[in-house]
């Protein structure tokens, strides 16, 4: 007999009234097919609360203490199905039903004393996927029952695309890693040095594996992003991308189960149409990826510049001018990095240490004049750099954070005095108007020799030098009005960016969740073909996500927890 926890049961009765409701026997049958790896799920912090999904519950102090300790740690969140890095995607924002702790102080008891815990956006059932057969069983189940499903790897998504639905496929435990110096894509006749990465593997594991194998993998600026998940399928930028390309440029092969229930090996030689779609058309659209294989580089040393000072109302503009005035030259020299009004952490594999020091001298001088700090040094590998600089500087998690961004074309913003001034003015306006800092990423494939037509990301990537983004944090207990006000700030800033660079685009993974005209912004001319391929590989529309190719639109029941922010999407 199939057992449902009391809280889950009460919740299900309420929630699925208008959706498909498989019988308990059918769920139990799925559970048997997936080897007992079907689980029910409550929100991460449920053990702290005395009311869960409207039903009295006995808190578990031991478990609650563990959640408090891990609340803002990516490694803790990454291994818990019901945790997402941006906790608003654990909640139902439109109904303000949530189960969150105070991210500023996770031990603050008012979080659970003053609030009830609600299931929010957490799927009540998930499969801990460990094989291709698990995925085939789940696809067949949703096809037959009409249950909505989602796919989660790390829970890094900024748009809620790994949340919602009544069944989720949790990919985290597909953790295989292998390296071949002579990888041959199936059906192909060319060899590459390549790493093959299971769908759940976080970048921190990829990087230490690469170090052990004396190779370099080009990847993201965070420990727990899943390399083969949402990162690569939608673009995947790295601060090594200026030379070595985006994730989509480097991927050689995917193993995927498409939503017509077929297991496929996809590369330039077989299923090339789908390969193109998976090189930018984004995740959770065409199927469930089991692994990807990516081109690797030899082990390389890096010149690193790390500069920071205390930001004031008076000193930000001068530093931003230095960044804008130098970035074209820095791009030509092979630098990539993350920068802001009072900091930068940039890397360069091409220059000597002396050349690197000379290259960034104006930024160093500026910071030192502000009594800041500056280091320009040589490190032996990406892993050494990552451990020393990134793990302490990467974007925080466990805090409700909204993102907005845009790709900034090289011409005229880095090539022309008026363009440069307009760009500096925009960034200063963000700081002055909303106290929001630009988060600049020099991570576009600026020097990379791209072969036209091989990827489906917006072509704006190919003529841009920067992505400018920004973060807007929401308090864990923000009211609906406050949330709307904060999204309005995000919309205002992104609209300034669109006005500055109307013909550019944005990175699907890191854009404003309410970006208007999203098909053009994220995919440009590639959208029509992507939509044809969506129809081909997901003929029954089993998979849907917010603003994904061929989605059902904001009015669909699946999106009832998103806010009613009227833009033209
Ligand atoms: C703190 C932080 C730092 C970041 N830094 C970078 C960065 O340096 N560079 C960069 O390019 N991006 C960065 N991102 C953005 C990141 O690339 C996206 O959030 C990406 O979607 C994460 O993919 P994931 O699979 O790890 O996350 P998830 O939230 O688990 O999934 C994201 C999307 O992929 C789908 N998905 C996941 N696995 C699969 C699968 N196996 N098959 C099919 N669909 C799947 C999900 O359904 C969802 O739609 C960052 C994000 C955060 C929160
Ligand atoms: C699935 O089966 C396993 C093993 O029999 C069991 O432990 C688990 O609770 C079941 N899952 C659900 C959702 O009932
Ligand atoms: C409380 O949580 C701890 C840690 O997960 C677990 O070992 C223990 O069995 C739980 N206690 C109860 C009463 O459920
Ligand atoms: C690989 O195969 C393609 C055709 O599929 C052919 O054009 C090409 O010459 C081959 N390359 C090598 C190195 O054999
Ligand atoms: C989904 O169901 C349809 C019939 O409704 C069937 O033709 C199709 O093969 C099924 N697809 C999968 C993946 O099971
Ligand atoms: C590691 O790779 C580098 C670059 O290819 C090479 O010079 C070096 O000899 C290798 N080291 C080992 C221990 O294999
Ligand atoms: C940056 O360039 C602009 C335009 O050439 C110039 O006016 C400005 O003084 C420069 N700023 C710095 C800090 O070099
Ligand atoms: C830097 O420190 C010196 C010595 O303490 C001080 O005189 C100067 O005002 C400081 N400059 C800035 C920009 O803070
Ligand atoms: C920057 O601010 C921090 C925190 O207020 C302070 O400890 C530090 O001394 C400041 N540094 C400089 C260079 O002013
Ligand atoms: C691009 O191609 C040119 C010409 O072959 C070559 O000189 C350059 O090094 C290549 N750039 C990169 C980043 O590989
Ligand atoms: C949110 O929580 C903080 C810290 O506990 C508290 O000071 C604040 O009043 C709360 N805000 C709302 C809207 O409940
Ligand atoms: C957003 O911009 C509009 C139009 O300029 C303005 O009326 C509104 O006050 C701004 N919203 C916020 C929160 O600043």
The pLDDT, as a whole number, for residue 19 is: 62
| pTM summary value | 0.96
pLDDT of residue 394: 84
In the structure, what pLDDT confidence band is assigned to residue 567 with cuts at 50, 70 and 90?
A: low
Q: Which bound ligand lies closest to the C-alpha atom of 267?
A: 4
* Helix locations, 198-315, DSSP H: 203-212, 232-234, 241-244, 247-250, 272-277
Instruction: Tell me the pLDDT band of 140, cut-offs 50, 70 and 90.
Output: very high
Q: What is the pLDDT of residue 13?
A: 40
Kindly give the distance from the C-alpha atom of residue 205 to the centroid of ligand 1, in angstroms, as a whole number.
16
Cβ–ligand 9 distance for 18 under 6 Å, the answer no
Nearest one of 351, 429, 385, 403 to 509, comparing CA atoms: 403
Q: Which residue's CA is the nearest one to ligand 2's atom 6? A: 36
Ligand nearest to the CA of 58: 3
Residue 451: CB within 6 Å of ligand 10? Answer: no
Ligand 2 pocket check for 453: Cβ under 6 Å: no
The mean of the pLDDT values for the chain is 95
Residue pLDDT, tens place only, 41-62: 999 999 999 999 999 999 999 9
Whether 108 is in the pocket of ligand 11, judged by its Cβ within 6 Å, is yes
Mean pLDDT along residues 454-471: 98
Q: Ligand 4 atom 12: the closest Cα is on which residue?
A: 189
- Let me know if domain 177-299 sits in CATH 3.30.230.10: no
Rounded Cα distance, 365 and 374, in Å:
9
* pLDDT at residue 395, as a whole number: 85
State pLDDT tens for residues 287-308. Answer: 999 999 999 999 999 999 999 9
**Nearest alpha carbon, ligand 3 atom 13:** 60
* pLDDT, average across residues 244-272: 98
Q: Return the DSSP state at 236.
A: -
Please state the domain extents for the chain.
3-170, 177-299, 302-518
At 6 the pLDDT is 40
pLDDT category of residue 9 using cuts at 50, 70 and 90:
very low
pLDDT in tens, 303-339: 999 999 999 999 999 999 999 999 999 999 999 999 9
CA distance 467 to 377: 25
Q: Determine the pLDDT at residue 48.
A: 98
Q: In which order are the strands placed within the sheet that holds 149-152?
A: 38-40, 125-128, 167-170, 149-152
Under the banding of pLDDT at 50, 70 and 90, the label for residue 16 is very low
Task: Establish whether residue 311 lines the binding site of ligand 8, counting it when its CB lies within 6 angstroms of any ligand atom.
Answer: no
Task: Quote the pLDDT of residue 3.
Answer: 38
Using a 6 Å cutoff on CB, does residue 243 contact ligand 10? yes
**What's the confidence (pLDDT) of residue 339?**
98
Q: How confident is the model at residue 427 (pLDDT cuts 50, 70, 90)?
A: very high
- What is the tens place of the pLDDT at every residue in 17-37? 346 899 999 999 999 999 999
Cβ atoms within 10 Å of 113's Cβ, excluding its own: 10
Give me the half-sphere count of Cα atoms (radius 13 Å) on the Cβ side of residue 148. Answer: 21
- With a cut of 70, say whether residue 86 has pLDDT above it: yes
pLDDT band at 96 (very low <50, low <70, confident <90, very high): very high
Predicted pLDDT of residue 323 = 98
Q: Which of 152, 169, 167 is nearest to 225 (CA)?
A: 152
Fold classified for 3-170: 3.30.43
In CATH, what number does 302-518 get?
3.40.462.20
Placement of tokens 């990826």 in the chain: 289
Whether 424 is in the pocket of ligand 7, judged by its Cβ within 6 Å, is no
């Amino acid at each position: 007999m199939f057992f449902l926890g009391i809280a889950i049961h009460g919740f299900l009765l309420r929630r699925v009234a208008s959706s498909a409701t498989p019988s308990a026997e059918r769920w139990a049958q799925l559970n048997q097919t997936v080897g007992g790896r079907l689980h029910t799920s409550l929100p991460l912090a449920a053990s702290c609360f005395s009311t869960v999904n409207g039903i009295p519950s006995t808190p578990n102090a031991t478990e609650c203490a563990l959640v408090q300790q891990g609340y803002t740690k990516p490694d803790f969140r990454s291994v818990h199905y019901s945790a997402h890095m941006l906790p608003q995607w654990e909640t139902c924002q439109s109904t303000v039903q949530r189960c969150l702790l105070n991210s500023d102080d996770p031990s603050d008891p008012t979080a659970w004393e003053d609030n009830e815990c609600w299931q929010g956006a957490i799927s009540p059932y998930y499969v801990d996927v460990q094989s291709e057969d698990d995925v085939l069983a789940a696809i067949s189940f949703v096809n037959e029952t009409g249950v909505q499903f989602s796919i989660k790897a790390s829970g890094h998504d900024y748009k809620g695309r790994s949340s919602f639905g009544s069944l989720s496929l949790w990919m985290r435990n597909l953790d295989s890693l292998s390296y071949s110096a002579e990888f041959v894509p199936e059906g192909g006749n060319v060899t590459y040095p390549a790493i093959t990465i299971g769908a759940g593997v976080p970048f921190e594991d990829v990087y230490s594996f690469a170090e052990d194998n004396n190779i370099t993998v080009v990847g993201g600026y965070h420990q727990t992003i899943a390399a083969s998940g949402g990162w690569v399928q939608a673009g995947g930028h790295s601060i090594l991308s200026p030379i070595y390309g985006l994730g989509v440029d480097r991927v050689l092969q995917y193993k995927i189960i498409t939503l017509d229930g077929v297991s496929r090996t996809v590369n330039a030689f077989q299923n090339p149409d789908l390969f193109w779609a998976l090189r930018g058309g984004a995740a959770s659209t065409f199927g469930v990826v089991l692994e990807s294989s990516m081109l690797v580089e030899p082990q390389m040393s890096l010149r690193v510049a790390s500069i920071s000072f205390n930001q004031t109302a008076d000193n930000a503009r001068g530093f931003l001018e230095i960044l804008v005035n130098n970035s074209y030259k820095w791009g030509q020299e092979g630098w990539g990095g993350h920068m802001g009004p009072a900091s930068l952490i940039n890397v360069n594999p091409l220059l000597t240490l002396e050349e690197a020091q000379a290259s960034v001298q104006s930024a160093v001088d500026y910071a030192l004049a502000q009594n800041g700090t500056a280091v320009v040094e040589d490190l032996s590998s990406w892993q050494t750099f990552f451990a020393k600089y990134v793990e302490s500087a990467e974007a925080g998690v466990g805090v409700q954070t909204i993102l907005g961004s845009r790709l900034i074309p090289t011409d005229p913003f880095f090539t022309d005095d008026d363009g440069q001034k307009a760009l500096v003015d925009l960034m200063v306006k963000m700081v002055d108007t909303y106290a929001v800092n630009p988060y600049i990423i020099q991570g576009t494939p600026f020097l990379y020799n791209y072969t036209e037509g091989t990827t489906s990301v917006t072509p704006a990537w190919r003529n841009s030098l920067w992505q400018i983004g920004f973060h807007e944090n929401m308090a864990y207990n923000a009211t609906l009005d406050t949330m709307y006000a904060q999204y309005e700030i995000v919309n205002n800033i992104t609209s300034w960016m669109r006005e500055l660079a109307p013909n550019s685009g944005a990175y699907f993974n890191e854009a404003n969740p309410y970006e208007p005209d999203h098909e053009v912004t994220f995919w440009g001319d590639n959208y029509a073909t992507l939509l044809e391929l969506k129809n081909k590989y997901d003929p029954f529309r089993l998979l849907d996500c917010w603003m994904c190719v061929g989605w059902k639109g904001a009015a669909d029941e699946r999106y009832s927890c998103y806010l009613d922010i009227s833009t033209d999407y």
